[in-house]
Amino acid sequence: MKEFMEAATVLNNRRVGEWKAQGGRVVGYTCSYVPDELFHAAGILPYRIRGIGASETTIGDTYFGPFICSLPKCMLQLAGEGKFDFLDGAIITPGCDSMRRLDECWRKAGDDNPGVLPKFFFHFGVPHKYSDYTIAWFTVEIQRLKAAVEGHFGVVITDEKLAASIRLFNRGRDLLEAFDAFRTAEDPPIGGADALAVIMAGTTMPRERYTELLEGLVGGLGRSASRITGKARLMLVGSANDDVELVCAIEGASAIVVADNLCFGSRFHADRVSEDGDPIEALARRYLAKNECPRVYGEYKARLATLRHKAEQARVDGVVLQNIRFCDLHGSENGLFERDLEAAGIPCIRLEREYGPLVETGRMKMRIDAFIERIRQRRKTA
């Protein structure tokens, strides 16, 4: 667990350091729509850019306006402080408006402070819906990214390499699915904070090592006799969360997060990339179709069905619907989820929070405690 936790909580973790020391290149990306396999096939470490550890947003506030999500502001803050100096490149996606404007803000910060901007900087257009012509567009977009990576880094990404990378990442997804079965079990052997660390580590460390660690972990969990019992079982849903501490705050002493629907969490490993046919198109299909984010408009019913299925499978007592302030996509969808899940008999709590140092922990814990109290009373009267 130690290595997972380190990879999940330290920006420039040991494995990244080793990779760089061996002359490896690292390319960061801001959103789960970027196909890791492409970079892996290029011999580049794909790294999901985080906002953890930012203790202020003075640099972020210099470029962004005031009514903007604090996650990209924290990312820019860290970039401005040189915390992402190990990145050789960065990919910006239109995951949401706040995140896509990181493109300009980071570039301008780079103009003002040479060295802040990685030498390879790429705007990756991701459609907002799934259809034959959006897949065609996205396939070309991935080809465009591939060409740019090949051109800038002087590498060749062959179909064979890409197919091998797809197989490796699919193997990781299989392992994470097996891991999820332990996590959601009755009296699970692992808590929610640790589970998030395990999943997130996959976005910040070399894949071969990650797969090796996962195999060990999954095997170990199968043999483990230790069980977590007597806690309220929660599912965590909503805005991007790359902070293990948030889960710790929610779990406290009386709850356990047994499931999630977060892009840094279990949505990251949902579904597989087809191992047949054109690998680029296969990536386009998986990455566009299977990341269930509210940025894909008009798909609420499908996402509600996913949530209900997950809640049922994990036998959750309640759902924590959280959003970062100014995240209207998750915030609004949380309102719909609350209406429909409550109607289906699943207790929900909506939490709006700031990203970054958990200055609101007290308020949040108080509300979570009240929520757990509600769940317990419900159990008693059931």
Partner 1 sequence: MRPETREYQFDWMLWSCFSAASKLNAGTPKEYRRMLEYIPSFRGVVETVLDAGEPGQRFIEICATYLDNVINAKSRGQKTAITTFCFSPAIFYAMDIMPICLEVISVMMTFTYKRGTTEFLDYCNEAGYTETSCSSQRGSIGAYLAGLGAEIDMIVTDTPGVCDTNANAFAFAAAYLDKPFFQLDMPPDLTGERSNEYHRADYTALISFLEQHSGKRLDLERLREKLIEVQKQDEMIAELEELARMVPNPLPVVYNFMVYASRFLFAGMPECTRTLESLLALARQNAAEGKSGISGGAERLRSYFCYIDHYVQNLKLWQMLDANGICYQGNILSRSWASNAPHVREFGTQEAAYTLDTANLDGLIDTMAMLNSRMPMIKSIRGPYDAPNMWLQDTLSLATMYNVDFIVYNGTPGCRNTWGMVKLLARDTEKAGFPTFIMYADAFDERVQSWETTRDRFMEFLNVRRLL
Nearer to partner 1, 9 or 239 (CB): 239
What's the min distance (Å) between Cβ of 76 and partner 1? 11
Nearer to partner 1, 62 or 211 (CB): 62
Sign of CA dihedral 308, 224, 1, 253: positive
Q: What single letter denotes the amino acid at residue 358? A: L
Residues 6+ apart with CB under 8 A from 367: 349, 351
What's the min distance (Å) between Cβ of 64 and partner 1? 6
What's the min distance (Å) between Cβ of 316 and partner 1? 20
What's the min distance (Å) between Cβ of 117 and partner 1? 14
Nearer to partner 1, 196 or 327 (CB): 327
Nearer to partner 1, 109 or 218 (CB): 109
What's the min distance (Å) between Cβ of 100 and partner 1? 8
What's the min distance (Å) between Cβ of 237 and partner 1? 14
- The C-alpha angle with vertex 259 and arms to 251 and 2, in degrees rounded to 5, equals 65
Nearer to partner 1, 111 or 373 (CB): 111
Nearer to partner 1, 146 or 231 (CB): 146
Which residues contact partner 1 by CB under 8 A? 62-69, 94, 96-98, 100-101, 103-105, 108, 123, 125, 127-129, 131, 133-134, 137, 140, 294-295, 297-298, 300-301, 323, 325-329, 331-336, 338-339
What's the min distance (Å) between Cβ of 80 and partner 1? 15
Nearer to partner 1, 82 or 335 (CB): 335
